[in-house]
Structure 1
Amino acid sequence: MSWLYHLKKLYSLDTLDARFLPKQTLNELKIDPAKPSPEELKSRQDDRKASFPPHGTRPSKWGTLEFYYHYLIFIICIPLMFYTPYVVSKASDPRYPIFEPLLSPGWIPGRKVDNSDAQYASFRDNIPYMAIVLILHPILRRLYDSLWRSNTYTQIRVVPGDDRGLTQGLSAAAAADARMEQRITFDFYFALVFISALHGVSALKILLILYINFKIAKDVPKKYVPVATWLFNISILFANELSRGYPFESLLALFPPSQASSEAKGPSAAMALSRWLDSYGGIVPRWEVLFKITVLRLISFNFDHYWSLDKRASSPLEKKQLDPSSLSERDRVSMPAKPGDYTFRNYVAYTLYSPLYIAGPILTFNDHISQIRYPLPSITTHRTLLYGLRFLLTLLTMELVLHFIYAVAISKASPDWTSYTPFQLSMLAFFNLHIIWLKLLIPWRFFRFWALCDGIDPPENMVRCMSDNYSAFAFWRSWHRSFNRWTVRYIFVPLGGSRATAGESQTWVMLRAGGNFVAVFTFVALWHDIQLRLLMWGWLILLFILPEVLATKLFPKKKFRDRPDLYRWLCGLGAVGNILMMMAANLVGFAVGLDGLKGLIQGIAGTWNGVVFLAGACCALFTGAQVMFEIREEEMRHGFNMKC
């Protein structure tokens, strides 16, 4: 059954992100220079589980009578969920001519492909070119290392001596500094070439923004840096969007022509030059769309540098007696880099790091510098190859969905929603959300795979399937996870977070935490796009979190310690409401908008048949929630606690 083991390993949590490995396993990776094989690690985990059963976990319910009922619901519902939108996507459906113009030729015989989502289409159409860059980038780095390795980390060795520990420590530090110098130099020049190819002459605009932000971090008086950083970067977000990337022709139009030039016939030489410059926009002329993710790194650099100024009197590494080559992720993020690391070259290499430049995931500056100095022991060829295979299977899944279920094209064609049955409407909405999830998941995993191949391990952005979420809080933590952690570090915690300080009343703490959540979700919505529907999405997510908070207060788990099944069923009822609200919020923000959601709701709940269907759907969601609970219990039994 080795194939079953490898299939299980392919979809294990540590293949998705080694950060989910139990701490003891991570420690073994750090101290074992041979980096134990997956089979050895599994054997050690099994031994630990046999000796120390996880605290607080319940016995497995997979073989109980209740779960056999849940299996029956799954066997009936899941095939119907796929078959229903497939039927309304067939050419024989009478509504097919309405959305057929939005379809494109497909590679599966007899099927067209729904490539009508412009955001994903731009990625899908460029996959062959990005794959070439993914292959060339590591090859060029190795070629660079082979040609310029004078006194680099590859030549530094431990020198035996009387004080071997001190000598080894000095050699390791020198090796780390040399490794950083080697990688940063390559990253800096490759990034300049990369953005020039992507954006043409607009690369100069990007470098100018980067330079101004760097000067804010370095030259503005320390107490004004946080405010100046936020004002500048939020202004850049708005300015980029409203000016559509500052075309040179539009910039020139801000300066009125002289009387002599206005009387001359034809465009001026300056206007002709500006149009000529605008014509060299690179592969992606609209650089401002991609720059949103860079703004997060600009803020990260400024604040990491700002906070480092308070810690330069003593080294946190020496204070905590930590080994810099085996820091936890928490320490890599919170501990400042060396004072000499906050240079313009390092800053450019970080903010424009090619594998993560287009879409992330997001690494903080401190974490990036730490990983450049000391490669993570969790990055292995075996795990990286499994992650790449998992990405390819996800890409194939998306291709099959787009070839057989035309949910996006149907919604874009503004159909008569009343012509669909409630079940058809709900499944079109459901697959619309799944396509949104996949179209974000695939680019994030592609660029993370590129970074892993290059020896950098950013956080996994999507750690749960969209259909494996029942909590609004946990959903936010597992959807664009690196962005969520960024907002916690740079917005939520600096504003005061949700922890009480001495003398604060509980009411004031809750009000302050609520205000901080409003600030976070408002920024998140505006960062995605300056549109009313996305602002409504952010506030809807915040509004829908409130029932979960209140239910947690009213029904604390400790009150049901002797009735765990009753508590689980009550949580299942709450999960059904959470799932419906999260689906509604994401449909408003990323799919059909508020008017489209109203049409869907009226089509589903506007008739008695629709009400009966909705009741049946809630029962199915309750079954799904119970399975989600047990999945998380199973993870806990294996030592994984994802907290989402």
Structure 2
Amino acid sequence: MASARDDAVGDGNGNGLTRRRSGPLGFLASVYDLDTLDTRFTTPSTVPYRVAHGPGAAKPDPDPRAEPPKWKTPEFYLYYLAFIVCVPYMFWIAYDVSRPSDPRYHKYEPYLTDGWIPGRKIDVSDAQYYTFRKNLPFMALLLVFHPLLRRIWNAVYSLPAEYAHPGGSRSTTPEAADARQRQRASFDFAFALFYLVALHGFSAAKILVILSLNYKIATTLPRKYIPVLTWTFNICTLFANELCQGYKFRNIALFVGGGSPGLVEFGEWLDRRGGIMKRWEILFNITVLRLISFNLDYYWSLDRRGSSPIEKKQLDPSNLSERDRISIPASPQDYSFRNYVAYAIYAPLYLTGPIITFNDFISQQRYRPATISPARTLRYGLRFALVLLAMELVLHYDYVGAIAKSRPQWDSYSPAQISLLAYFNLHIIWLKLLLPWRFFRLWSLADGIDPPENMLRCVSDNYSTLSFWRGWHRSYYRWLLRYLYVPLGGSDFRSVRSAARSVATYLLVFTFVALWHDIKLHLLVWGWLIVLFFLPEIVASRILFPKRKWERRPTAYRMLSCAGGVANVLMMMAANLVGFAVGLDGLQSIVKGIFRDYSGLVFLVTACSALFVGIQVMFEIRQSELRRGINLKC
């Protein structure tokens, strides 16, 4: 085996830059490249990928705001020492209270089951991850089967020879793109119907009724009513799905048939044949986002009928930038019911996303994205496998989820134990969301569609509340920007009046975000807490301590920003514990447990000091990215 290898990271057609990677460590480093995670992180949204990474492409210039590296300074050597001591100690605390010798072990043992690591049980208290883990082998088979089935479909319903391989390469003419789009959409439409029936049985009919009603709103009503009725219909659908528990056929029979025994019995028979996932309404929220995307993309396309932005700007339709793929409307004929269903029920992204807009989806159906290459998809798959291994190791050795589910007496734990249990609980929440998103994006990449990556940074690599939301569920964040935040007017804090309007915009957006997740009071509290925690950072960074006033004292400004970052981290942890872990009552119990005596205050000061060290390293990571010309803004 050669000691060095070439690793192509170009346009997916063999036309990219080639970087030298040496040996196994070099390959592992390439697995953790930002470019492997998502090319959107290394390519500006306004620049086509082939232009940024094709032959002769220049390396991005360092950002002029980048500071000299600090990795080898005495300050950072002190931070390294803190990492060497603190990180293992954090894991030890969580492990120590998860051992069978712990006197509280019997309380949460029912939430454990035999694991695959000898001598260890695994925490299965989280139903969401347990379901994903149990079904992962079957989903892996589907990941292989679905792209292979498309190949068979393409062989049976093949493109005309002049479109498929003229001169030995795929044609990029508009006619060939139309043919490729019809070929892909016909398969996606047929597979969507099969997929719905397999997942939801007879309840697939309910989903198709909802889709049909939403489609009628966009395509038959007067233009001026489309946005309002689209939002009204889809928000009402979220509530109705929850309140009516998925519209049981038995209840429909009682309502329609007046209690006829035969009809009610038939309704119960239909309910029993609800497919693999009988409760289809639980994961339908993600489909609602696609329904809104289709309607509003169609609504905005009506303004551009009769003109072609591609021709006007003289763009190459086979090599559009991401921004152009999203903003340039599809052709009028593309807003058909077949394409709409193919998009809304696209199998790899149907259950959890990531979310891709309708315009972007149709553009990628026409032209295979240059960002997709077998080598990058392989590395992305390996990265998913490593994250899965990390989750399994945590659940085998740290039973923090089971402890939280067992209604613990928090006063029986030390402040350090309480804090670290909450901290690792947030990491499990992050991992259980990350894994399905990465798996289904991997499936989509294998099928030739490149959706946005949902998670940019580890949950422990965030110090800004605003930046956190740019990198957490990133495709949803971008969806909110396009369809809700910008239409509502965005934010502007240059005056008291505009600031009040901006706060109202944030409240509306996060109220929708909370209700979209679930119709629960603690999620509303979570959404409003997020907005409340935005405000100190906005006031501090834009009004009290603007960076321009500290240009002559960069070190002092960095220390001040780090102190603010510590406060942000504590607030973000509190908000997410309320929303997704222990609820408001649980958070109150945790806080009381930390502050019940003097030792809690000592631990809090120690923890804040450790956070201060961690945030300094986070600052330097972002400075390193700026030195490479990468500005992720989160």
Same fold by TM-score greater than 0.5: yes
1:493 aligns with 2:486: yes
- Counterpart CA distance in 2 for 1:157 and 1:216 is 42
Q: CA deviation at 1:321?
A: 1.5
- Counterpart CA distance in 2 for 1:218 and 1:499 is 35
- Counterpart CA distance in 1 for 2:223 and 2:120 is 61
Q: Would the aligned equivalents of 2:49 and 2:370 in 1 still touch at CA under 8 Å? A: no
Aligned residue number for residue 292 of structure 1: 285
Q: Which moved more, 1:339-348 or 1:512-521?
A: 512-521
Aligned residue number for residue 609 of structure 1: 599
Q: Would the aligned equivalents of 1:158 and 1:171 in 2 still touch at CA under 8 Å? A: no
Instruction: Give runs of aligned pairs for residues 217-296 of structure 1, distance below 5 A.
Output: 217-255=218-256, 257=258, 268-296=261-289
Tell me the SS of whatever aligns to 1:113: strand
Q: Would the aligned equivalents of 2:70 and 2:620 in 1 still touch at CA under 8 Å? A: yes
- Counterpart CA distance in 2 for 1:488 and 1:606 is 43
1:520 aligns with 2:521: no
Q: CA deviation at 1:508?
A: 2.4
- Counterpart CA distance in 1 for 2:592 and 2:164 is 70
Q: CA RMSD in A?
A: 2.0
- Counterpart CA distance in 1 for 2:413 and 2:451 is 43
Tell me the SS of whatever aligns to 1:620: helix
Tell me the SS of whatever aligns to 1:251: helix
Aligned residue number for residue 497 of structure 2: 508
1:9 aligns with 2:30: yes
Q: Which moved more, 1:347-356 or 1:601-610?
A: 601-610
Identical positions, percent: 57
Instruction: Give runs of aligned pairs for residues 350-361 of structure 1, distance below 5 A.
Output: 350-361=343-354
Q: Would the aligned equivalents of 1:398 and 1:435 in 2 still touch at CA under 8 Å? A: yes
Q: How many pairs does the alignment contain?
A: 612
Q: CA deviation at 1:150?
A: 4.4
Tell me the SS of whatever aligns to 1:254: helix
- Counterpart CA distance in 2 for 1:293 and 1:170 is 35
Q: What amino acid maps onto 2:619 in structure 1?
A: F
- Counterpart CA distance in 1 for 2:240 and 2:317 is 41
Structure 1 pair 78/170, CA: closer, same or farther in 2 (3 Å)? Answer: closer
Tell me the SS of whatever aligns to 1:104: strand
1:555 aligns with 2:548: no
Q: CA deviation at 1:30?
A: 4.7
Give per-residue Cα distances to partners, 1:267-286, cap 9 Å, x unaligned.
x2111111110010100000
1:534 aligns with 2:523: yes
Aligned residue number for residue 204 of structure 2: 203
Instruction: Give runs of aligned pairs for residues 75-474 of structure 1, distance below 5 A.
Output: 75-151=84-160, 154-155=163-164, 157=166, 172-255=173-256, 257=258, 268-474=261-467
- Counterpart CA distance in 1 for 2:159 and 2:69 is 58
Aligned residue number for residue 568 of structure 1: 558
Q: What amino acid maps onto 1:533 in structure 2?
A: H
Structure 1 pair 487/140, CA: closer, same or farther in 2 (3 Å)? Answer: same
Q: CA deviation at 1:498?
A: 2.1
Aligned residue number for residue 165 of structure 1: none
- TM-score normalised by L of structure 1: 0.92
- Counterpart CA distance in 2 for 1:626 and 1:197 is 50
Q: What amino acid maps onto 2:421 in structure 1?
A: L
Q: Would the aligned equivalents of 2:491 and 2:501 in 1 still touch at CA under 8 Å? A: yes
Structure 2 stretches of 5 or more lacking a match? 1-21
- Counterpart CA distance in 2 for 1:309 and 1:28 is 28
- Counterpart CA distance in 1 for 2:171 and 2:600 is 72
Q: CA deviation at 1:346?
A: 0.2
Q: Would the aligned equivalents of 2:470 and 2:477 in 1 still touch at CA under 8 Å? A: yes
- TM-score normalised by L of structure 2: 0.94
Q: Would the aligned equivalents of 1:417 and 1:425 in 2 still touch at CA under 8 Å? A: yes
Q: Would the aligned equivalents of 2:283 and 2:352 in 1 still touch at CA under 8 Å? A: yes
- Counterpart CA distance in 2 for 1:508 and 1:170 is 55
Q: CA deviation at 1:590?
A: 0.2
Give per-residue Cα distances to partners, 1:242-261, cap 9 Å, x unaligned.
11101100112224637xx6
Structure 1 pair 26/227, CA: closer, same or farther in 2 (3 Å)? Answer: closer
Tell me the SS of whatever aligns to 2:166: coil
Q: CA deviation at 1:507?
A: 2.6
- Counterpart CA distance in 1 for 2:492 and 2:119 is 58
Aligned residue number for residue 3 of structure 2: none
Q: Which moved more, 1:628-637 or 1:314-323?
A: 314-323
Q: What amino acid maps onto 2:123 in structure 1?
A: D
- Choose which of 626, 629, 634 in structure 2 pairs with 1:639: 629
Structure 1 stretches of 5 or more lacking a match? 160-167, 262-267
Q: Would the aligned equivalents of 2:48 and 2:321 in 1 still touch at CA under 8 Å? A: no
Q: Would the aligned equivalents of 1:463 and 1:479 in 2 still touch at CA under 8 Å? A: yes
Q: CA deviation at 1:3?
A: 2.4
Q: CA deviation at 1:313?
A: 3.0
